[in-house]
């Protein structure tokens, strides 16, 4: 099931940017535009992680962070336009788990989000093996035999989904919902394109195919 992220951010453009990007990466996202609403949403929705802006109308981010921390251990990533040591210390002292200054690259925010979520899932399996393919969730590295395979974020997530469900036929609808975050409707070839990308990298040295097509249904990770 997709993890839930609450974004508490009053700047419309940043809030929309984060929501769009995180949904694309497979998360469920809710946005609150002020501290009071964000605090209420966090208590009602019980998100897996909170992205919290420091400068908010009404109740500021530091106070929201203190109240959230007093009531639980949900990971909190703070965003701020200030990047002085004193400001970082204030954020971390208020209970934040991590701190990111604006402007930031979405890729860095995504990496920090994943790192924080991993901390609260310490027992989750991090190494997956199938045939001679090894996928490491913690380092986001993939190897086949002695060969290291470079994957994009989406390729890695797609292979991870298959590695978590070996020998099972995953329908196109299941894959679209899990990897792209929406229910599949109509015709689209984006999944087929990514399967081709993955196969080309996994079979670079003519290794046996492990991503098999079940016509009319979907794909499965299994040996020929």
pLDDT above 60: residue 123 = no
Runs of H (alpha helix) within 94-186: 106-119, 153-164, 172-175
Name the band, by pLDDT with cuts 50, 70 and 90, for residue 181. low
pLDDT above 80: residue 221 = yes
For 185-224, b/e burial (b = at least 16 CB within 10 A) is eeeeeebeebbeebeebbeeeeeeebbeeeeeebbbbbee
Name the band, by pLDDT with cuts 50, 70 and 90, for residue 71. confident
- For the chain, the straight-line distance linking the first and the last C-alpha, in angstroms and rounded, comes to 29
pLDDT above 90: residue 184 = no
Residue 187's pLDDT is 55
* Mean pLDDT for the stretch of residues 149-174: 90
Q: How many Cβ atoms from other residues are within 10 Å of residue 133's Cβ?
A: 20
Nearest to 157 by CA among 124, 123, 114: 114
55/180 Cα distance (integer angstroms): 31
Name the band, by pLDDT with cuts 50, 70 and 90, for residue 138. confident
Retrieve residue 127's tokens.
């190494």
Contact 58, 34 (CB under 8 A): yes
Name the band, by pLDDT with cuts 50, 70 and 90, for residue 122. low
pTM over 0.75? The answer is no
- State which H helix or E strand residue 199 sits in: helix 190-202
Q: In what order do the strands lie in the sheet with 133-136?
A: 127-130, 133-136, 141-144, 147-149
Residue 121's pLDDT is 66
61/189 Cα distance (integer angstroms): 42
Comparing 8-12, 45-49, 206-210, which segment has the lowest mean pLDDT? Answer: 45-49
Residue 34's pLDDT is 95
For 88-105, b/e burial (b = at least 16 CB within 10 A) is bebbeebbbbbbbeeeee
Name the band, by pLDDT with cuts 50, 70 and 90, for residue 124. low
Residue 144's pLDDT is 95
């Amino acid at each position: 099931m997709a993890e839930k992220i609450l974004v508490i951010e009053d700047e419309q453009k940043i809030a929309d940017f984060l929501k769009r990007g995180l949904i694309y990466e497979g998360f469920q996202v809710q946005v609150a535009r002020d501290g009071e609403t964000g605090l209420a949403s966090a208590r009602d929705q019980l998100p897996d992680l909170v992205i919290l802006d420091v400068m908010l109308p009404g109740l500021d981010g530091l106070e929201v962070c203190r109240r959230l921390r007093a009531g639980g251990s949900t990971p909190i990533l703070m965003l701020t336009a200030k990047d002085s040591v004193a400001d970082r210390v204030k954020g971390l002292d208020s209970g934040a788990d991590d701190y990111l200054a604006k402007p930031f690259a979405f890729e860095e925010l995504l990496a920090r989000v994943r790192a924080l979520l991993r901390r609260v899932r310490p027992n989750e399996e991090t190494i997956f093996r199938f045939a001679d393919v090894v996928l490491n969730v913690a380092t986001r590295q993939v190897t086949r035999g002695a060969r290291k395979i470079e994957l994009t974020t989406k390729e890695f997530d797609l292979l991870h989904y298959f590695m978590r469900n070996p020998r099972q036929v995953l329908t196109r609808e299941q894959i679209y919902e899990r990897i792209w975050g929406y229910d599949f409707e109509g015709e689209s070839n984006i999944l087929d394109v990514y399967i081709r990308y993955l196969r080309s990298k996994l079979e670079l040295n003519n290794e046996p195919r492990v991503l098999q097509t079940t016509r009319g249904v979907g794909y499965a990770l299994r040996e020929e």
